[in-house]
């Protein structure tokens, strides 16, 4: 049992992160699925973060143009 716990300990960290996203930051299934789809589309974590940043910049430009 201890071997299995050690082997899958990283899952506890991931579950803790997901719980925080859901309960502390109010991420719903759709938000988490969107992050997952971004990861599938862009691959590396830094590229996903860059895509999110660019999206934010586009939203700011839209607000200024209105």
Q: What pLDDT score was predicted for residue 59?
A: 84
What's the total number of domains in the chain? 1
Question: Band of the pLDDT at 19, cuts 50, 70, 90?
Answer: very high
| Confidence check: pLDDT of 52 > 90 | no
Percent of the chain with pLDDT over 70: 100
Contact 38, 48 (CB under 8 A): yes
Distance CA 25, CA 18 (A): 10
Closest CA to 48 of 35, 31, 60: 35
Quote the pLDDT of residue 65. Answer: 84
Q: What is the mean pLDDT of the chain?
A: 88
Copy the structure tokens of residue 23.
């309960």
Report the length, in residues, of the chain.
66
Question: Residue 17: which domain range?
Answer: 2-65
**Gap between the Cα atoms of 38 and 49, Å rounded:** 9
Q: Is the pTM of this model over 0.75?
A: no
């Amino acid at each position: 049992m201890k071997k299995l716990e050690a082997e899958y300990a990283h899952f506890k960290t991931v579950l803790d992160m997901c719980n925080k996203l859901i309960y502390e930051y109010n991420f719903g299934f759709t938000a988490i699925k969107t992050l997952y789809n971004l990861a599938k589309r862009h691959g590396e974590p830094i590229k996903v973060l860059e895509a999110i940043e660019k999206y934010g910049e586009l939203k700011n430009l839209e607000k200024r143009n209105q």
